[in-house]
Amino acid sequence: MHNNLLYIILPYTAFTIAVVFTIHRYRKDAFTYSSLSSQFLESKELFYGSVAWHFGVIGALAGHVIGFLLPSGVRWFNGVPVRLYILETTGLLFGLLALIGIISLVVRRATSSRVRAVTSKMDVVVVTLLLIQVSLGVYIAVFYRWGSSWYVTSAVPYLRSLWALQPDLKMIEPLPLVIKLHIVNFYLLLIVFPFSRLVHMLVIPLQYLWRPYQIVIWNWNRRRAQAHAPQPARQPAGVTSPADEAAAETQPVSVYTR
């Protein structure tokens, strides 16, 4: 009974919620389709964590999608041991990169008071689920070897049976508990997807790749700025007034940015 609940009812419920509420949110308030960047609050740790996370998770997701779409191709590729070793190692590296990234982002939110102040309850839920998902994935890659092969022979037939509206649990029933938890946690991520910042992945600004550079110019007239600046009180010799420092910083600057 619990198998039907977790692996048939839950996935259809999660998929329905994800599709319906994602569309509803976009039509009602499209401007909320954003990651709500906190870079202005703290940028150094965000850079290292975000880069590692995005490269790792994109690589891991790409491997899962390729296995789902081309299972026979993956089986053929893994027919040569050397290629199997390369694929397994690559998948593990992507998983470790994603794990390092998500841990770095979790530590950043926990230690930075400014970032913690803008962290919502949904952010905590999403980050927790992502940390669990990636941790389970790395654990599976380490302790259940040749995952790219048994994934396309066990998990993919089950996922395809869901897609065909003919759910078949025969292939996943014998799978270890940790793999089943990995699958269930994915469904939970689908449920929270439309209510979180994760929706930003649907609006990738690809046009930035080909649009021309924008030129942003700050061109202040130094004499005019000095003329309109309030006259400070007489300062002792060797002391620089705030007005002089502000005037010295108003030099023409051109910045090329996308």
Provide the residue-wise pLDDT of the chain in tens; the chain has 258 residues.
688 999 999 999 999 999 999 888 888 876 666 666 655 555 667 778 888 999 999 999 999 999 999 999 999 999 999 999 999 999 999 999 999 999 998 888 888 787 777 778 888 999 999 999 999 999 999 999 899 999 999 999 999 999 999 999 998 888 999 999 999 999 999 999 999 888 877 776 666 667 777 666 656 665 666 666 666 666 555 555 555 555 555 555 454 455
Q: What is the pLDDT of residue 48?
A: 82
Cβ-count burial 156-180 (b if 16+ within 10 Å, e if not) = bebbebbeeeebeeebbeebeeebb
Pick 2-204's CATH classification: 3.80.30.20, 1.10.3720.10, 1.20.950.20, 1.25.40.10.
1.20.950.20
User: Where do the DSSP E strands lie in the chain?
Assistant: 214-218, 253-257
**Domains in the chain: boundaries:** 2-204, 209-257
Quote the crossing angle between the two packed helices 81-111 and 121-143, to the nearest 10°: 150
Q: What is the pLDDT of residue 157?
A: 93
Which pLDDT does position 96 carry in this prediction?
96
Amino acid at 180: K
Question: Hey, CA dihedral for 233, 237, 239, 243, is it positive or negative?
Answer: positive
User: Helix, strand, or coil here: 6?
Assistant: helix
Contact 124, 39 (CB under 8 A): no
In which element (H, E) is residue 184 found? helix 177-192
Partners of 215 in beta bridges: 256
Strand-pair partners of 218? 253
Candidates 52, 68, 80, 40; CA nearest to 186 is: 68
Q: SS3 of 51, please?
A: helix
Distance CA 37, CA 16 (A): 28
Question: What residues form DSSP beta bridges with 253?
Answer: 218
